[in-house]
Chains A and B, each alone.
Chain A
Amino acid sequence: MSDGPFNQAVLIRGGTVVDATGKRVGDVLIRNGVVEAVGLDLDDAIAGAQVLDASGCIVGPGLVDLHSHLREPGREESETVETGARAAALGGYTAVVAMPNTDPPIDCAAVARQVFELGARATCEVAVAGAITVGRAGKLLAPLAEMADLGIRLFTDDGNGVQDARLMRRALEYASALGVTLAQHCEDSSLAAGGHMHEGEWSSRLGIPGQPGEAEELMVMRDLALSRLTRAPIHFLHLSTATSLQMVRVAKQGGARVTAEVAPHHFSLTDAAVASYDTVFKVNPPLRPPADVAAVKAALADGTADAIATDHAPHAQEDKEAPFDQAPPGMLGLETALALAVTELDLPIERLLALLSWQPAAIAGLAGRHGGPIVAGAAANLCVIDPEVTWVVDATRLASRSRNCPYAGRTLTGRVRHTVLRGEPVVIDGEAQR
């Protein structure tokens, strides 16, 4: 592996360049970590450049994931920053936001610094989300300013919602002076308590205790009110119900400072999958009925949802091989998100890249380095996508250290061919280079 910047020139040849400014046919020449030129027939521009074939492919800004559980420190048997970043690179990501529910949690500068250091050597940029409260326990404010000084721009107790309305209000007020955004895992824990899947027709038949969609919606409603009260921005993590998204739609029309992400599994799977009792389908928020899945797709189409975020949540096999009510919630996502978006969403590639790249880059405070536009002088964080190729998901051949992939055996369309991080091809023809 290389230390220091990657210096060899790279030429991405024959693709269609897509970014927020539009779509054009052209080659991309990269040198010293930045885009040097974009244009037709750059072949002769430089001798000795490494050539990446992009014929028939889309050349886009690298994808940005707002929601990755990299598990380090504390749960290295299920994922590390290194393996998670490799999975991310294979999925086309050049930046991910590492969630703070590690052990110990990322609730102070010391732990945040450790994750940043691990990320410095990784195959994608590792941004960090800090916890809102000490120990993610929902009682005392974590040192947000100390973490913001390290460059942290998102804070969340993800895995838990902040239950106490007054504490959430104070956190929003305090954060507003720091120029950071709080992100909420919306779940009213008293209503959701003990629920291991969506409460509805399937939970009733299967005899599995459910949690109603209203457990999510109550906190969305509350936090929209608190954002209005404090005039602070709020980001909603992994929204999964029609009513949640409708509340966000209406709030945005009223000018609220709200952004929202949705997860690939919430537009690709329904709660009927749980009928297999396979714990790979246990996730929080849970898989929902078809009407909610349709609403998630509609929210992506009309701009209510700003981003597709993976909620990549690796779990060791021995932890998942437990009775359904004891298995931890969560599923892998980094290596399949783009293909699921291409396969399941009837949206043009420039809209998909908005949802997967430049919009989440803006929410994460990563715009400038990630999310394009692809012009001379821009940071060379790019991905090359073959939008036509079909492939079958093989859960045994994933870069993640865990195997809890719910799409095993599924045929998907669209795949990442190359990923370039700071000018270095970290994925070439679907193979991780380090």
Chain B
Amino acid sequence: MTATVSATAAPGVGPAAAVRPAARLSTAKPGGRRHLLSIADLDREGIEEILRLTDMFVEVSERPIPRVPALRGKTVVSLFFEDSTRTRLSFEMAAKRLSADTMSFSVSTSAVKKGESLRDTVETIEAMGIDAIVVRHSAAGVPWQIANWTEGAAVINGGDGWHEHPTQALLDCYTIRQQRGRLDGQRIAIVGDIRHSRVARSDVLAFTALGASVTLVAPPTLLPPTLAGWPVEVSHRLDEVLPSCDVVYLLRLQRERMQEALLPSLREYTATYGLTRQRARLLVPGALIMHPGPVNRGVEIAAEVADQPNSVITRQVRNGVAVRMAVLYLLLGSGVDLGV
């Protein structure tokens, strides 16, 4: 790809993106490669297409033998430069249920520690003849770089820095739709460390694309430097937001935030922004409690609250496999024979 200097031609630019180059995963140019890099690359129809397909794969997952031959002969590599057992296992299980071969590459066992460059690592893996790369990296943008360096493989963003985690957003949308019927008109509060959260950035894009309204609830130190162009409301008082929301989405708080002077203490965070047992009573009946995991019980959410019936945290994990099956199928499948 040639370097672009204009704002409008740039990929993955967030809520105010003027151009959405590949609105649907399944309708990219014939012969052209398809990737899933950012929710910003999908429009409403593109997201809904994935959710519809997910319904079918949820049904497959409930069979006694939850496996279909759709991607037989395809190879999916998970290339994880950052620890994430959950996302990696979810992608690998999705690939296996589609009968694809899977390979796993993590930084602790790799040549990267011996000084091999990111580009050499990627080119070496692609040279083995693979069909898709699921990449997780601590730096924003690495999936774009990899997509530029590779020629044949589809690239799936499994989380890049603070930027995006598109399959998490898709599984969140699926879970909300499954539990509440639709996203249109849903009032969703995303609570916690928005600044450092790739989940929040993808969720804001996906939720609002599907017609939900989003309120971000966090101390100013845990919000992005500016929210100009983000289609969201902001609040610093969780108690005022909870009674009027349909979904409360809690983000994981990393303990090192205290060292950066972003917060005085975990105790103060829990007291002001944690979903404590008392605070959870402010929710209307039927309001969902969500979390991308892993949960810090007792910090952003009380242990009992995480286990309440309206908490759908484990449901999110289960739906994650089916959503990732849908994404892999759309990117790698023939598009004709679903094999279901």
Contact = CB atoms under 8 A, between A and B. Distances in A.
Nearest to B224: A204
A408 B2 CA distance: 8
Interface string B1-36: 111111100111111100000000000000000000
B201 to A, nearest CB: 6
B225 A212 contact: yes
Interface of B is mostly: loop
A269 B6 CA distance: 9
Interface in A175-194: none
Interface in B86-127: 117-119
A325 interface: yes
B5 A208 contact: no
B164 interface: yes
B3 A207 contact: no
A323 interface: yes
A199 B228 CA distance: 12
Interface string B220-241: 0000111111100000000000
A194 to B, nearest CB: 9
Contacts of B141: 206, 208, 277, 323-324
Of listed A323, A406, A408, residue having the most chain B CB within 10 A: A323
Contact of B161 (A205, A212, A318, A325): A325
Contacts of B224: 203-205
Interface in A288-336: 318, 321-326
A166 interface: no
B118 A323 contact: yes
A408 B3 CA distance: 7
B55 to A, nearest CB: 31
B13 A206 contact: yes
Contacts of A318: 117, 119
Contacts of A280: 3
Given A276-B144, A281-B3, A321-B118, A205 B137 contact: no
B142 A323 contact: yes
A207 B163 contact: yes
A201 interface: yes
A269 B4 CA distance: 10
B162 A207 contact: yes
Interface in B189-235: 198, 201, 224-230
A206 B228 CA distance: 13
Contact of A204 (B1, B142, B225): B225
A264 to B, nearest CB: 13
B6 A206 contact: no
Contacts of B149: 321
Interface in B133-147: 137-142, 144-145
A425 interface: no
A318 B224 CA distance: 31
A429 B4 CA distance: 30
Of listed A205, A206, A280, residue having the most chain B CB within 10 A: A205
A396 B14 CA distance: 32
A205 B194 CA distance: 11
A203 B144 contact: no
A322 B117 contact: yes
Contact of B140 (A208, A278, A321): A208
Interface in B149-201: 149, 160-164, 198, 201
A325 B139 contact: yes
Nearest to A290: B7
Contact of A321 (B3, B4, B119, B230): B119
A102 interface: no
Interface of A: 199-210, 212, 269-270, 272-273, 275-278, 280-281, 318, 321-326, 406-410
A-B pairs, top 7 by smallest CB distance, nearest first, are: A277-B141, A207-B163, A205-B14, A275-B10, A323-B139, A207-B162, A204-B224
Given A202-B13, A323-B138, A409-B2, 10 more contacts: A201-B229, A206-B163, A207-B161, A207-B164, A208-B161, A208-B163, A269-B5, A276-B4, A318-B117, A321-B118
